Amino acid sequence: MSELKKFKFINKIEGISFLILLFIAMPMKYYFGYPMATKIVGMLHGLLVFAFIYQILEAKKEANFTWKETISYTVLSLIPFGSFYTDKELAKKL
């Protein structure tokens, strides 16, 4: 599997975990008093962020991303639903 395909996969999974953290785990913690939700989902999301960073650097080498693209994809991962825009952009490169 190419590094670009791996990055596309990690980007999507990391984006989904971010949404689960924001819209499911955080409300469970603050509205329903269940802090374990953010501990579990937060740890999983944190691991996926590290995988995202590693994979974007690997994909940058293989797919010749510009620094502008690399930074843009990274910033989009910090915005809810931003990873889905990145996914559309990456589909054009495959």
- Three-class secondary structure assignment of 19-76: HHHHHHHHHHHHCCCCCHHHHHHHHHHHHHHHHHHHHHHHHHHHHCCCHHHHHHHHHH
Q: What's the whole-number mean pLDDT along residues 30-56?
A: 97
Count of domains observed in the chain: 1
Give residue 64's domain range.
Answer: 3-93
Residue with tokens 């996914």: 87
* pTM for this model (two decimals): 0.92
Cα(85)–Cα(54) distance, integer angstroms = 20
Answer yes or no: is pLDDT of 75 > 90: yes
Cα(83)–Cα(63) distance, integer angstroms = 18
